[in-house]
Amino acid sequence: MRMAFGLGGVLVTIGVIVWIMGKAELPYDQAVIHASQKATDQVQQLSGRDENGNNIETTYSVFADNRSDGKLQDLQVTQLTPDSPLAHYFGLQKDDVILACVDGHTVRTDMAGLNDDRAGKDAIWDAYTTQGQMVVQRGDQQLTLPMAKTQPAPIAAPKVAAKTPAAATAQNQKAQQTEKQQEGKSNDGSEGGSMDEIRQRLHALPTY
């Protein structure tokens, strides 16, 4: 019985130690894992590959819209896998029309005028691997991807109406009149006050 109690106490002690170590080390471990995952994602993006090591060009398809002179006009996205890095990073969607790409050094390449779709795909590659941007036509909107997160509009402070000179003068006169009445003076500043004011004060006196 005594050995059973001793074994139980040891197990409880071990459990407490494990719990304390978990509390102390778990946040650190989670931070390390998060940093490692972020670094891995960046390396994959720099190499132009997805999380499975596949070239990003295998995750999307485009239709080349050419001009009458044979040069490229734009690229329309006809296929896009759900896990495509272009969808994750840019927010690109199927049926988007790619008009231009901007690489991480802010060098813009317009699709219009390029020799062929190969040159357009190279521009997409450069924009993705250097964490750049992409200009697309989506419906009737022209968007720059990735879109910046919108911030909530600041709450405007309530406006206080400014007092006109006439209103300020009237307020000052009323305050002065109230102060004189409290001091027992008439409106013209005399100590006794007018006869009407004296009668009013006499009537206000308590009767015994």
In a domain, 64, yes or no: yes
Burial of 128 (0-12, 13-18, 19+ CB in 10 A): buried
Q: What is the mean pLDDT of the chain?
A: 78
pLDDT value, residue 108: 97
Cα angle at 122 between 120 and 125, to 5 degrees? 115
- What are the CA-CA distances from residue 106 to residues 85, 169, 181 (Å)? 20, 61, 76
CA separation for the pair 1, 208 (Å, rounded): 96
Nearest to 75 by CA among 132, 129, 137: 137
Same domain, 76 and 96: yes
In a domain, 151, yes or no: no
The full DSSP string for 48-112 is TB-TTS-BGGGGEEEEEEE-TTS-EEEEEEEEE-TT-HHHHHT---TT-EEEEEE-TT--EEEST
Same domain, 183 and 111: no
pLDDT confidence of 14, banded at 50, 70, 90? confident
Same domain, 36 and 64: no
Same domain, 25 and 81: no
Same domain, 125 and 65: yes
| Listed range (27-31, 66-70, 125-129, 198-202) with the worst mean pLDDT | 27-31
| Listed range (49-53, 81-85, 114-118, 203-207) with the worst mean pLDDT | 203-207
Same domain, 60 and 121: yes
Q: Which residue has the higher pLDDT, 70 or 50?
A: 70
| CATH code where residue 118 lies | 2.30.42.10
**Amino acid residing at 131:** Q
Q: What is the DSSP letter of 194?
A: -
- Structural domain for 71, as ranges: 56-145
For helices 2-46 and 117-129, what crossing angle results, to 10°? 140
In a domain, 154, yes or no: no
In a domain, 27, yes or no: yes
Find out whether 143 and 101 touch, Cβ atoms under 8 Å.
no
Same domain, 77 and 20: no
Nearest to 75 by CA among 91, 59, 64: 64
The full DSSP string for 26-38 is HHHHHHHHHHHHH
In a domain, 150, yes or no: no
Q: What is the DSSP letter of 192?
A: S
In a domain, 195, yes or no: yes
- Among 11, 26, 46, which residue terminates a domain? 46
Q: For residues 42-50, give the mean pLDDT.
A: 77
In a domain, 74, yes or no: yes
In a domain, 77, yes or no: yes
Find out whether 127 and 106 touch, Cβ atoms under 8 Å.
no
Domain count, the chain: 3
Q: Which residue has the higher pLDDT, 114 or 29?
A: 114
pTM: 0.55
Please write the tens of the pLDDT for every residue from 133-157.
999 999 999 999 998 765 455 565 5
CA separation for the pair 126, 103 (Å, rounded): 6
pLDDT confidence of 124, banded at 50, 70, 90? very high
